[in-house]
Chain A
Amino acid sequence: MTALNRRHFLKASATLAGGLVLGVSLPGRGEEKSGSVGEPAGPHLAYLVQIEPDGKIIIGATGSEMGQGVKTSLPMIVAEELDVEWDSVTVEQMPLGIKRDSEGNLAWLHVSQGAGGSTSVSEGWQPLREAGATARQLILQAASERWGVPMGALTTDRGVVIHTASGRRAGYGEFAAAASALPLPENPPALKATENFRIVGRSQRVVDAEAIVTGQAEYGIDASMPGQVYASVEHCPFRDGSVASFDDKAARRVPGVIDIVPIEGPAPDEFFTVLAAGVAVVADSTWAAFQGRAALDIKWHPGPHADESTASLREQMRQALERPGQVVLDDGDVQAAFAAADDSLAADYFVPYVSHAPLEPQCCVVHVRDDGADVIAPTQSPSGASRMVNRLTGLDRMAINVHISRLGGGFGRRLTVDYVAEATLISMAVKRPVKLQWTREDDLKHDFYRPCGLHRLSASLDDRGRLTGWRHQLASPSKYYRRPNVEADKMWEAELYPDDPPRRLLPNVQLQYYSMQSGVPRGSWRAPAHYANAFAVQSFLDELAHRAGQDPLAYQLELLGESRELPYEQHGGPVFDPGRLAGVLKLAAAKADWGKPLAGSQGRGIAGHFTFGGYAAYVVDVTVAAGELRIDRVVGAIDCGLAVNPNGVIAQMESGVHDGISTALRLEITLEEGRIQQDNFHNYRLASLRDAPRVVETYIVDSPHPPSGVGEPPISPLAPALTNAIFAATGQRIRELPIGEQLKS
């Protein structure tokens, strides 16, 4: 958590109407440092708190809203300390805010923006509270001067200043102008005691809910700029392939087609090698661009990965595991533990490449002018978009305006800004605003996929079936794709998190990694490696419990032990408390009638996982009859510290349930002769409502801890809870995802 400990990061000034605006900025996390000097131009909608003389209160939403709820939860935190009526607050999406410090380095203008790693709430918690409290303090100070009473005699209630002794009351708006001229308080004002919260901790509706159900909410696909043209790109079907030649005569004859722009393929070691080679068609409408594209005749150079197939990569992984791997964790003496064991068990688990497939295909609008650029994008990384435009155009970072639209889903896909790069290149070529629209086929075939991986887990056991040694070997192409700064021997860091349990729960633990080569682009997919690791680890623990003839919950609780703080150095640390993981397992189990007998064709499974500071567990009930799987009920429990918006936390758990089910049931990306085989939802079959359980229940642990993010923790434990339930129902152990047709065999 970042404390707002240096006052000068706050900045107050007057709005055009003479109200108070308050911004807050923190040293940048991940902002780069190069570039020339300049000040941000344009209107400062970007301030966190804006109080107009007429009493209107606007709170800026700093992060990218992709369904994870931060456009609601982050402003709630500000509103709480500002002490206003939540329903009367207007929330507005802030554009990217960056600035140059006195040394010319770039930093965030306010707080870090973008969304990834479930950090928005945990990192924003303290600074956003302090920002709200500071604005309230300035209003109080202005009221105290106006009324000639000491500040201590004033209180506030829902946007109204009250002088209790005289009964005087006035809305914040009346003091907004005076407050904007006051110096900021020396020290951060006292924050509310959590028991006095009226907004935080109470369920609030998604702020854009009404706009969404009436079709008014603006996504990237709905954005436009005056004079824009429409573009669609035919991408090279081979990874790192290129355009050999193309004939655009027919395409140019398509009515509405304006221009054809070749896009050069990846140049090694360049920042923007996320780009695929292709040919863009620019037209006066989306459909004309699609039509023109269909009329292109392109010959491709297939590039270096034209022979790659899923089967060959899988075989390489299998062979790799027969050799010693790179030892990345070696606690105790695993070899000795196995030598002295009464029993041992080993099992392989496989997870495939999967695509993010946000329902809104990639899109954006970019206008590159001589003196600057405008970008409207559904991006999780607005600063990445800004850097990309800077690299391609040479324009000053401060002259690049990046507006964040709502995102029609993100899941990590929109941390990569390849589509912004394409639109930028096309706009540079045609010198007009360009609205780029990908198709679903583009989106599925040109993703930065969640890596596939083959996991081998081995355990040594004592005479009571208890773990004495643990070895986890993983062969996978690392998520670190085209990261020139990452050394070959660090590729594992994106795939194995050494401090995950069972480390420190038993003395002998070893992790080995095998870095596989693949031409398939990889990237962050919701909870990155946690999905795969939770599947392998939580399945294997279930196998061990059954081997020992023990109840899987009891087996895992004994392993986790009491509540205590263990060091956790990877993202989501600094501590991991096995007692909190045990807590969510127990809560889900209790609510789901764990231990109660089920009908013959039914089964019940449990799994839990720690992801990015949050603890989540599920109990899944299934029925398997004649090879048909029906997921009857999912009961979830989460410990995310203080639940800022309980309704939003529940929504994210439900999201984890459905995304977990969808991914486990049928989703996989496969390659044949260097080409991705999936191209639309008929062969990349997302779960439909028919696949979804009729009963989904969520329970939130009443936790004294500060809030963690909730976008990612809910997904990882779902798949193993499901496959453990399938085992309970059928005796069939699913060790490979997706489940697909395995139950039919």
Chain B
Amino acid sequence: MTTFTLNGEDYEFAGAEDTPLLWVLRDHAGLTGTKFGCGAGLCGSCTVHIDGRARRACIIPVGAVADKQVTTIEGLARDGLHPLQQAWLEEDVAQCGYCQAGQIMAAADWLERTPNPSHEDIEKQQTPLCRCGTYARIRKAIFRAADIRREGAVTLVEPDGQEVST
């Protein structure tokens, strides 16, 4: 029996402790927003937060999250939309959309610690794979989300990545 906090609520899993968190979320907790892409920690589709840090749920045995806080895409925003979700809509990032929950969960962690990201920051930290090729819009959306988080600071991001303060 593994007990942890899932999107703010207590959750109990009765199965084997070596079951990857991903499959507990998807098959048992019914939270299917976290996606399966590789099962080997390589693609980032399954990114969730464990005690606030982005982790790849396909390679984390559920036993390792005992008594921890697990947040999935469904629980990212307490009410309304997270700035990243908002920015993702504004930039209309998604194509097939399959990778996007993982993209947002990954960015939601590191953007917290890098509130004013550069292109280099994004290239270093935003590692989930997108097969459809939405990277150009992911960049823009991360810049946009940083602006939304800074509230009030109005910065336009030009197509060449130049920031223009107004």
A→B interface (CB under 8 Å)? 65-69, 205-206, 208-210, 212-219, 221-222, 230, 255, 285-287, 357-361, 406-411, 437, 439-440, 647, 651, 654-659, 661-662, 680-682, 686-690, 692-697
Contact = CB atoms under 8 A, between A and B. Distances in A.
B98 to A, nearest CB: 3
6 contacts: A206-B97, A213-B104, A215-B31, A647-B92, A658-B134, A681-B43
A65 B98 CA distance: 12
Interface of B: 15-16, 19-20, 23, 26-28, 31-40, 42-43, 45, 72-74, 77, 81, 84-85, 88-89, 92-101, 104, 119, 122-124, 126-127, 129-139, 159-161
A67 B96 contact: yes
Nearest to B77: A214
A208 B37 contact: no
Given A654-B134, A696-B136, A217 B97 contact: yes
A681 B126 contact: no
Contact of A662 (B16, B104, B133): B133
Ordered nearest first, which 8 A-B pairs have the shortest CB separation? A215-B33, A658-B133, A67-B96, A408-B98, A67-B95, A215-B73, A212-B97, A692-B135
A296 to B, nearest CB: 17
A694 B119 contact: yes
Contacts of B136: 654, 657-658, 692-693, 696
Contact of A440 (B34, B40, B124, B126): B40
Contacts of A216: 33, 74
A408 B38 contact: no
Contact of B101 (A66, A215, A218, A661): A215
Contacts of B28: 285
A285 B89 CA distance: 34
Contact of A690 (B74, B123, B161): B123
Nearest to A435: B27
Contacts of A437: 36
A697 B136 CA distance: 9
A69 B35 CA distance: 21
A214 B74 contact: yes
Given A285-B28, A659-B133, A359 B139 contact: no
B96 A361 contact: no
Given A212-B94, A360-B98, A656 B133 contact: yes
B126 A689 contact: yes
B97 A655 contact: no
B61 to A, nearest CB: 11
B39 A682 contact: no
Nearest to B33: A215
Contact of B131 (A654, A682, A686, A692): A686
A628 to B, nearest CB: 14
A409 B26 contact: no
Contact of A689 (B26, B72, B135): B135
A689 B138 contact: yes
Contact of A69 (B95, B131, B161): B95
A285 B20 CA distance: 12
A657 B95 CA distance: 14
Contacts of A285: 15, 23, 27-28
Given A213-B85, A654-B137, 6 more contacts: A206-B95, A212-B97, A215-B32, A216-B33, A359-B37, A658-B136
B115 to A, nearest CB: 19
A192 to B, nearest CB: 25
A688 B125 CA distance: 11
Nearest to B40: A680
Contact of A657 (B26, B37, B72, B133): B133
A221 B33 CA distance: 10
B38 A654 contact: no
A688 B129 CA distance: 6
Contacts of B23: 285-287
Contacts of A655: 95, 132-134
A407 B95 CA distance: 10
Contact of B39 (A208, A213, A222, A439): A439
B36 A221 contact: yes
A682 B35 contact: no
Nearest to A438: B36
Interface centre among B36, B81, B119, B123 (most CB of A within 10 A): B36
Contacts of A213: 73, 81, 84-85, 88-89, 93-94, 100-101, 104
Contacts of B159: 695, 697
B127 A689 contact: yes
A687 B130 CA distance: 8
Nearest to A356: B131
A360 B104 CA distance: 17
A251 B34 CA distance: 28
B94 A689 contact: no
B139 to A, nearest CB: 7
A410 B104 CA distance: 22
A437 B101 CA distance: 20
B28 to A, nearest CB: 7
B56 to A, nearest CB: 12
B37 A360 contact: yes
Given A69-B95, A215-B32, A440-B39, A359 B131 contact: yes
Contact of B96 (A407, A662, A693): A407
Nearest to B75: A215
B131 A409 contact: yes
A213 B39 CA distance: 21
Contact of A214 (B39, B85, B132): B85
A208 B100 CA distance: 12
A127 to B, nearest CB: 26
Nearest to A222: B32
B81 A286 contact: no
Given A651-B95, A654-B133, A359 B31 contact: no
A67 B132 CA distance: 7
Residue picked from A212, A651, A693, A696, most chain B C-beta under 10 Å = A212
Contacts of B138: 689
A693 B138 CA distance: 12
Contact of B97 (A67, A205, A439, A661): A67
Given A213-B89, A694-B119, A286 B95 contact: no
B124 A360 contact: no
A518 to B, nearest CB: 25
B67 to A, nearest CB: 22
Contact of A287 (B19, B77, B130, B137): B19
Residue of B34, B123, B161 most packed against chain A (CB within 10 A) = B123
Contacts of B100: 212-213
A651 B91 CA distance: 10
Nearest to B94: A212
A222 B31 CA distance: 9
Contacts of A205: 89, 92
Contacts of B39: 439-440, 680
Contacts of B35: 219, 221, 359-360, 408
A409 B104 contact: no
Contacts of A217: 97
A287 B38 contact: no
A120 to B, nearest CB: 15
Contacts of B122: 689
A286 B27 contact: yes
B40 to A, nearest CB: 5
